[in-house]
Structure 1
């Protein structure tokens, strides 16, 4: 698209960044709605809009069309998709929460494998317009019906209990639950929130410019797609391992380890001048994100309980999505100004290491009985 229309990378990226920020603000509203009414219809509407914007992207003729569709689509994605696993799954599981979130995350990983490969294959014999339309229909077919048919709010609504535990007889196994006012008094909330915002900046920066960076330095498009696909493929078994580990190891330690490993993997990325190193980076980044994207959805519920988890995550959503939007945009600006991603990738590695240190300082709070 940038080649056909002559757009700069920052101009192409800008509407996604705007949409991410608007979606973060929307999370303040969507989070409590998911707590109170569940995510089924919220997600059903979001999936329909997402698929529609993808299809309409296939008919874009100017920058205005691009801005309108990308802002709409990204706003919907940022306000719903980024929260749903971390809100719905923790309400259904307590002792087995880690593994449940890990298995739920497999769908996202499969999408990260399938969509780049599908888009690259379509581009090899057709156009970017066909690729957008195909991805839109794929979203509808794969996600809309299962969401409306299967997604539910919490087990108590259906006479069930988390993990199959009888909470009337085994109340000691229940977790404390904070409300939004209580978490604002917790130091751990702010430390985790800052770390999550750092993660959002770093991972979106890398993911959004991964393919462009590799092809710019001479890696073939097919090798770049393989590098992109290796990461989610590796992250799937790592995610399962992380989920089980999160039930036994303090979750903030696992999360911190993923931040440190991500910093090291980004340093490797800076030296990815061959197919082998590009693929090794995909492997290393897959390990880091496999742990991170699982435990990041566990940590909020483990620290603050499940009753108001949507509202609590909604408090972080504006800052989270602001960082999510700034990362790719700053990387695009850096490239447009300097012709290189080196400086922004170095900053990302340093931020990731700093985020890991913040997590180690976040001690699990307790509800005061006084």
Structure 2
């Protein structure tokens, strides 16, 4: 009896493993997206090395973005079946390999193949499965946990581009890619090994509640993938994400070149990308918890409106400080959008097939990422101005907000299950 009591006390004293999963997800998103968003630091070097236009170089990022959001339609269901840990580990290995091979490229087409396919497929394997795993560990604090997990993207955006710029200056762009690739493999795979899908295997329910009190918890309940995509709720979420994504990823490719074109020193220009990271980290870290209290659907609408307003500021900005205001504001709202979207999906469709449903939803973001940054680059090549593509980006997010408002009025398939 005494041993049983001691064992029970030990079990209660054990930390909730869900927070370890959140920390692992943070590191996976830090490495994956931080590596992807170093691209802006390499644009000038790639243009100079291969004599390429800004539009054609922008395609490298657009192809990568298309893959890392689009492949969620495959990696999400695979993770639901095989577990997120395996998919995340493979993804981090591909990210590192892609960067190492990009450093060996002799033509711009080889950069497309190495960076776009390597990093794109790598993040595509890891991102949706990792987010899906986090959702299953939480119900009451799902928005907060999601925000913490994806704040790795914001910190990666803050840390990795300046690190890449320093490495390029110190070692050259080719060796910079190799160093970043090795870091991605070691840190990314190490973090992936800590990911787990099911709290019940660790003796708890979601949120760390005692297992015997959560027998009806929505951990593996929910709508089928086919059932989810046929709902008006999913159609609205998909349309809003698709239209918004046309503009959301334009700054990650073109903000630094835009600033340099407006006589901002390159060392200061790259800091603007870091400021998006600062704002994004704040948005993901702090706003997710607010969304849990005020309502995650209404919060999502506010994020679209915030991105629209901040992009409008960019359209008329011309100095470092006005661009810094844009970068911080945009980062906050972009970070809040990324943080809350998986939680909204789980709220309305449940945890049973959350990886697959998020993966299908993110194909909308994939198409927007493919078209938006590259179209902005080609528009600049023609007009030598970013005003029109940036203004269109702002308008797209305003339209996304209106679609989200209409979507709130449709029926939620399992709202009663996932609401805290």
State whether TM-score is above 0.5. yes
Give matches, 1:140-219, under 5 Å: 140-148=185-193, 150-166=194-210, 169-170=213-214, 174=218, 177-219=222-264
TM-score (norm 1): 0.92
Distance in 1 of aligned mates of 2:275 and 2:415: 46
The superposition leaves residues 233-290 of structure 1 with CA deviations (integer Å, 9 ceiling, x where unpaired) of: 1332332221111212221211111111111111111232212112111211122123
CA distance in 1, matches of 2:167, 2:414: 54
Pairwise CA RMSD: 2.2
For 1:125, the equivalent position in structure 2 comes to 170
Report matched runs for 1:30-69 at 5 Å. 30-69=75-114
Q: Secondary structure at the match of 2:106?
A: coil
Aligned residue pair count: 368
Deviation at 1:319, TM superposition (A): 3.1
Query: For the structure 1 residues 236 and 68, does the alpha-carbon distance in structure 2 shift closer, same or farther, using more than 3 Å as the test?
Result: closer
The one-character-per-residue Cα deviations of 1:195-254 (angstroms, maximum 9, x if unpaired) are: 122332222112111111111122111221221111211332332221111212221211
Q: 1:135 to 1:322 in 2, by over 3 A?
A: same
The residue aligned with 1:346 is 391
Pairs within 5 Å for 1:14-93? 14-77=59-122, 79-93=124-138
Counterpart in the other structure of 2:317: 272
- Pairwise CA distance, 1:172: 6.8
* Cα contact 1:224–1:278 (8 A) shared by 2: no
Greater mean deviation of Cα atoms: 164-173 or 260-269 = 164-173
Aligned match of 1:6: 51
Distance change in 2, residues 1:313/1:284 (3 Å)? same
Quote how far apart the aligned CAs of 1:80 are. Answer: 2.6
Post-superposition Cα deviations, 1:289-331, rounded to whole Å, max 9, x if no partner, equal 2321211221111111111111112222333312211111111
Distance 1:358 1:260, change over 3 A: same
Residues 182/277 of structure 1: CA separation in 2 closer, same or farther (3 Å cut)? same
| Stretch of structure 1 that moved more, 305-314 or 70-79 | 70-79
Shift of 1:155: 1.3
**Structure 1 contact 252–362 (Cα < 8 Å) conserved:** no
Alignment of 1:220-235 (within 5 A): 220-235=265-280
Confirm or deny: 8 A CA contact 2:158 2:277 kept in the other structure.
Answer: yes
**Cα separation, 2, equivalents of 1:263 and 1:25:** 24
Structure 1 residue 170 displacement after superposition: 4.9
- Residue in structure 2 matching 1:240, options 274, 280, 285: 285
Residue 289 of structure 2 corresponds to residue 289 of structure 1:
no
Q: CA deviation at 1:19?
A: 4.3
1:313 corresponds to which residue? 358
Where does residue 343 of structure 2 map in the other structure? 298
Does residue 137 of the first structure (1) align with residue 168 of the second (2)? no
Distance 1:174 1:27, change over 3 A: closer
